[in-house]
Amino acid sequence: MAHATAVDVTSPDSTTRPRAGRGRRGLNERKRSRTGLLFVLPFAVVFLAFLVAPLLYAFYLSLYSKGLATGVVFAGLKNYTTAFTDPQFLKGVWFVVRFALVLIPVQMFVSLALALVLDGLTTRFSRFARLMIFLPYAIPAVIGALMWGFLYSPTFGPMQQIADLVGAQAPFLLDPDHVFGGLMNVVTWQWAGYYMIIIFAALRGIDASVYEAARIDGASSWQIAFRVKVPMISSALLLILVFALIGTLQFFTEPQALRLVSNGTITPDFTPNIYAFSQAFAYANFNYASAISFSLGIVVFIAVYVFLFLTRKRGSIS
Amino acid sequence: MRKSILAGASGVALVLALSACATSANNSGGGASAPAAEESGTSPKLTDCTNKMKNDAPQVSVWGWYPNMATVVDNFNAGHTDVQICWNNVGQGQDEYTKVQTAISAKKGLPDVVMLEADHLSSYSIQDALVDLVPYGANDVKPSFSEGAWKDVSSGDKVYAIPVDGGPMGLIYRTDVFKKYDVTPPKTWAEFADSAAKVKAAGGPLFGDLGSNVPAAFMALQIQKGAVPFGYDPANPQALTVKLNDQASKDVLNYWADLSNKGLVGKQDQFTTDYISGVVGGKYATYTSAAWAPGYLTGAGVGKGDSKGVWAVAPLPQWDEANPVSVNWGGSAFAVTTQATDKKLAAVVAKGIYADPASLEDGWKKQVIFPLNKSVLDSTEFAENKTDFFSGQQANKEVYLPAEGAYKGVVYAPITTYYYAQFQAELAKINSGKVTGDQAADELQANIVKYAESQGFKVTQ
């Protein structure tokens, strides 16, 4: 219905346009582009003031180096060479890379599974379940992490209370051996509901006649799910993959909030972003922090660009 | 007991949440950000004070975290017609230091007067953030303080803050646990380890705790053994001596690593909800801590309900009983910042904010501080006081006063924040059994030397 009206409105315009004279058309277009610019202006101002300018300033800062005993001196790209040979920075990078490699598939699998199940349900329960699964995303990450800090607590957390029933000691999920899984759980809980909603929305956008056709062809529910639904929502999957990639490489909020209850497992160099934060605000080294942030930004940008380039044909994002 | 745990838990959670929110900076904070002072030296009117002024005198902004600060500020303001304090609490420990450091880097946003711990003074004075108070009459109040206390706030012949309270260390212990397992307060660290083993063998609780988040306390314990971690003289600001892996430092780390690996002491970070609930619930037989601990423990709910009347304090165990050494953990002081609009007026506040008898009495009677002002330290009333938290034990006379009197002071390096962060990481590694005390000390030394050199110091090892 909506499509039909859209066509009706635009078609007279497209037919009248060629009839107009050449000069008039140029004037019109210039006027139109000026009006267009006016619409873009508010965004452009914000974009320049809050993204481009800080980026340039950070880059400028990253070219200097400051020592407590020496003051600020121009350092060129020395901060960058320092960063990529800094074991603390590389340790953090290695952690988020490993984390992303495990987390992203887990998150996508969980959110896809949830969305497919909810899409298949037609009861009132499905609406309630959808809300409940989405709810964690509505809770600010800091609050969520603090709650997990309580749930993981080795003294009065529910895990320990269950373990107490059999007189055992529950594992502390933030100790060095478990922190990987412990954080994975927190992040998946936080984000899976959000990704689920994106996938679910994409599933709802599929025309039901497609399923009917598949069923007539004799496809089972499983076949419909994996051969029809999943390929048709691949652009949504790609989108959340990019979101997850960016988010994980910038991993900050959850470990930062859980740092206080981690008994020292989560160090000030735990992830690159936490390291940049510590360098800037704890060690007063804004220059090195800028270099780290900038390097991280470049890595994320390249990773996402390469990724989108490689997948441009499969998804509709290109 | 469950109720108190939950109350503690929600309390700490609230504090965490608040401190997370507290990043909204204090923009009035610095006199420097405001228009320059007039000739008369009045500081501009500040708007975000927690307290109410008593009159229209010029105002000095102060950051302080001390629990009874509101009373202290009111006392000061009531007694002054020449100046009024505008007070704000921006958090404690790393929370505050992050804000202080950011304001220093931004060159605006600091208050006129800031409450700091002695171990952070040189980190900020090297960045020209703190005013040398000698020209502002710091030496007028010098006789009010002990030699050790004064050394902690001085660098060479410069004085960067006026001391408020100290943290002479002692061994806080549970009388019920000691009685049940038939142990007496250990006089030496060897006895401490023996008692810990004995209590554990009898099925008792952990004897103490190796909390990775209290590097300052473990540095104090290393100093007790004879370590001299840093040598620094602001007269020669580029020279820094770093000795973090001498035998004394290694011995202390190995000692605690051994206790931790044998499961005789806990591995829990201190001041967390988990730790406090463990302390309340009798999970730890001792707490190696400073004179300010009773106040903080009481505030966190310890010493009430189930854990009421079970606490006592003994002198800190010694390595060599014949040559006892006193050490200090924490304590605080008021410094004037170079961003202060009117430094003279700010110095009046730094010198006077904790000098009136009413504030001092409020502080020590409610056990939230161990004042360093001699007017209190030398008073019979203070010495004879029966501390409520320790069920009427004369803790000052028996433990803290002798400890404070014997304290010699320490030289802190201007890289405290980084050093503590790395020390904390090493303590956590010791707790997870990844390194020995020796390895931790060597790693720490290498790491700190490398950092100090990257900061432009000429390091002597």
**Residue A28 falls inside a structural domain:** no
**Predicted local distance difference test score (pLDDT) of residue A99:** 95
Whether the predicted pLDDT of A173 surpasses 60:
yes
> Which residues of A fall within a CB distance of 8 Å from B278?
155
- Testing the interface with B: which of A73, A159, A263 to mutate, by most B Cβ within 10 A? A263
Could you read off the pLDDT of B327-344 as tens digits, one per residue?
999 889 999 999 999 999
**Residue A30 falls inside a structural domain:** no
**Do A263 and B424 count as a contact with CB atoms less than 8 A apart?**
no
Q: What is the CATH number of the domain that holds A119?
A: 1.10.3720.10
Which of B212, B277, B281 is opposite residue A264, by nearest beta carbon?
B212
- Testing the interface with A: which of B120, B260, B418, B426 to mutate, by most A Cβ within 10 A? B418
Domain boundaries, chain B: 59-166+332-371, 169-328+404-459
- Testing the interface with B: which of A65, A260, A274 to mutate, by most B Cβ within 10 A? A260
- Testing the interface with A: which of B121, B240, B271, B454 to mutate, by most A Cβ within 10 A? B454
**Residue A27 falls inside a structural domain:** no
User: How many C-beta atoms lie closer than 10 Å to residue B131's C-beta?
Assistant: 27
**Residue A36 falls inside a structural domain:** no
> Which residues of B fall within a CB distance of 8 Å from A146?
13, 16-17
Length of chain A in terms of residues written: 318
Does B330 reach chain A within 8 Å, measured CB to CB? no
- Cα–Cα distance for residue pair B421/B214, rounded to 1 Å: 10
pLDDT tier for residue B401 given thresholds of 50, 70 and 90: very high
Does A155 reach chain B within 8 Å, measured CB to CB? yes
Q: Which residue of A has its CA nearest to B433?
A: A176
Joined together, the tokens standing for residue A184 give: 């994975």
Does B5 reach chain A within 8 Å, measured CB to CB? yes
Q: What is the rounded average pLDDT of the residues A300-314? A: 82
Could you read off the pLDDT of B201-232 as tens digits, one per residue?
999 999 999 999 999 999 999 999 999 999 99
Whether the predicted pLDDT of B12 surpasses 90:
no
Minimal CA separation from A197 to chain B, in Å: 28
SS3 call for A205: coil
Instruction: Say if residues A303 and A245 touch (Cβ distance below 8 Å).
Output: yes
Q: What is the DSSP string of B7-75?
A: HHHHHHHHHHHHHHHTTS--SS--TTTSPPPPTT-PPPPPS--SS--SSSS-EEEEE---TTHHHHHHH
* Run of H or E residues at B155: strand B154-155
Does B150 reach chain A within 8 Å, measured CB to CB? no
How far does CA B294 lie from the centroid of its chain?
13
**Do A69 and B455 count as a contact with CB atoms less than 8 A apart?**
yes
> Which residues of A fall within a CB distance of 8 Å from B272?
260-261
% of chain B surpassing 70 pLDDT: 90
Helical H segments across chain A, by residue range: 2-16, 22-47, 53-62, 78-83, 87-120, 124-138, 141-151, 158-165, 179-204, 208-216, 221-223, 230-232, 234-249, 253-258, 272-277, 286-310
**Predicted local distance difference test score (pLDDT) of residue A20:** 45
Q: What is the rounded average pLDDT of the residues A249-276? A: 93
**Residue A6 falls inside a structural domain:** no
* Least trusted range by pLDDT, from A12-26, A261-275, A294-308, B370-384: A12-26
- Cα–Cα distance for residue pair A197/A111, rounded to 1 Å: 8
pLDDT tier for residue B27 given thresholds of 50, 70 and 90: very low
- Exposure on the CB side of residue B183, measured as CA atoms within 13 A: 27
Residue B293: which of B109, B151, B166 has the closest Cα? B166
Does B431 reach chain A within 8 Å, measured CB to CB? yes
Whether the predicted pLDDT of B138 surpasses 90:
yes
**Of B11-15, B101-105, B364-368, which has the strongest mean pLDDT?**
B101-105
How far does CA B81 lie from the centroid of its chain?
32
**Do A155 and B17 count as a contact with CB atoms less than 8 A apart?**
no
Q: Which residue has the higher pLDDT, A311 or B173?
A: B173
SS3 call for B286: strand
**Do B425 and A267 count as a contact with CB atoms less than 8 A apart?**
yes
Rounded to the nearest integer, the mean pLDDT of chain B is 87
SS3 call for B178: helix
> Which residues of B fall within a CB distance of 8 Å from A270?
none
**Predicted local distance difference test score (pLDDT) of residue A154:** 86
Minimal CA separation from B260 to chain A, in Å: 14
How far does CA A270 lie from the centroid of its chain?
19
Q: Which residue of B has its CA nearest to A279?
A: B418
**Do A264 and B431 count as a contact with CB atoms less than 8 A apart?**
yes
**Predicted local distance difference test score (pLDDT) of residue A313:** 62
**Residue A224 falls inside a structural domain:** yes
**Do B17 and A146 count as a contact with CB atoms less than 8 A apart?**
yes
Does B101 reach chain A within 8 Å, measured CB to CB? yes
In the stretch 342-381 of chain B, residues with CB closer than 8 A to chain A read: none
* Least trusted range by pLDDT, from A19-33, A126-140, B254-268, B430-444: A19-33
**Residue A199 falls inside a structural domain:** yes
**Do A142 and B127 count as a contact with CB atoms less than 8 A apart?**
no
Does A257 reach chain B within 8 Å, measured CB to CB? yes
Residue type, A270: F
- Cα–Cα distance for residue pair A248/A180, rounded to 1 Å: 13
Does B203 reach chain A within 8 Å, measured CB to CB? no
SS3 call for B455: coil
Residue B363: which of B69, B98, B107, B17 has the closest Cα? B69
- Cα–Cα distance for residue pair B274/A311, rounded to 1 Å: 48
**Predicted local distance difference test score (pLDDT) of residue A312:** 76
Could you read off the pLDDT of A98-137 as tens digits, one per residue?
999 999 999 999 999 999 999 888 788 888 899 999 999 9
Instruction: Say if residues B276 and B449 touch (Cβ distance below 8 Å).
Output: no
Which of B13, B16, B212 is opposite residue A263, by nearest beta carbon?
B212
Length of chain B in terms of residues written: 461
Q: What is the rounded average pLDDT of the residues B349-370? A: 88
Could you read off the pLDDT of B38-82 as tens digits, one per residue?
333 344 546 688 898 888 899 999 999 988 899 999 999 999 999
Q: Report how many domains make up chain A.
A: 1
> Which residues of A fall within a CB distance of 8 Å from B212?
263-264
Q: Which residue of A has its CA nearest to B457?
A: A69
Does A282 reach chain B within 8 Å, measured CB to CB? yes
- Cα–Cα distance for residue pair B74/B51, rounded to 1 Å: 8
% of chain B surpassing 90 pLDDT: 68
**Residue A226 falls inside a structural domain:** yes
Does B394 reach chain A within 8 Å, measured CB to CB? no
Q: Which residue has the tokens 């629990």?
A: B67
Whether the predicted pLDDT of A245 surpasses 80:
yes
The residue range of the domain holding A90 is 86-313
- Cα–Cα distance for residue pair B137/B142, rounded to 1 Å: 9
**Do A176 and B432 count as a contact with CB atoms less than 8 A apart?**
yes
Does A263 reach chain B within 8 Å, measured CB to CB? yes
- Cα–Cα distance for residue pair B296/B274, rounded to 1 Å: 15
Does B241 reach chain A within 8 Å, measured CB to CB? no
Class for the domain spanning B169-328+404-459: alpha beta
Q: What is the rounded average pLDDT of the residues B145-171? A: 91
- Testing the interface with A: which of B16, B232, B427, B459 to mutate, by most A Cβ within 10 A? B16
Residues sharing a CB contact under 8 Å with residue A163, sequence separation 6 or more, in sequence order: A169, A170
Rounded to the nearest integer, the mean pLDDT of chain A is 86
* Run of H or E residues at B333: strand B332-336
Domain at B59-166+332-371, CATH from 3.50.50.60, 3.40.50.970, 3.40.190.10, 1.10.10.60: 3.40.190.10
**Do A282 and B454 count as a contact with CB atoms less than 8 A apart?**
no
Could you read off the pLDDT of A82-92 as tens digits, one per residue?
999 999 999 99
Phi/psi class of residue B295: alpha, beta or left (left: φ > 0; alpha: ψ in -120 to 50)?
A: alpha
**Do A263 and B20 count as a contact with CB atoms less than 8 A apart?**
no
- Cα–Cα distance for residue pair B86/B66, rounded to 1 Å: 15
Q: Which residue of A has its CA nearest to B95?
A: A282
> Which residues of A fall within a CB distance of 8 Å from B434?
176
Three-point CA angle B453, B457, B460, nearest 5°: 85
**Do A267 and B267 count as a contact with CB atoms less than 8 A apart?**
no
Between A and B, how many residue pairs show a Cβ–Cβ distance under 8 A? 109
**Do B267 and A70 count as a contact with CB atoms less than 8 A apart?**
no
**Predicted local distance difference test score (pLDDT) of residue B47:** 64
CA dihedral for A146, A150, A152, A154, sign (positive or negative): positive
Minimal CA separation from B164 to chain A, in Å: 24
Does B247 reach chain A within 8 Å, measured CB to CB? no
**Do B16 and A260 count as a contact with CB atoms less than 8 A apart?**
yes
Joined together, the tokens standing for residue B414 give: 């201007």
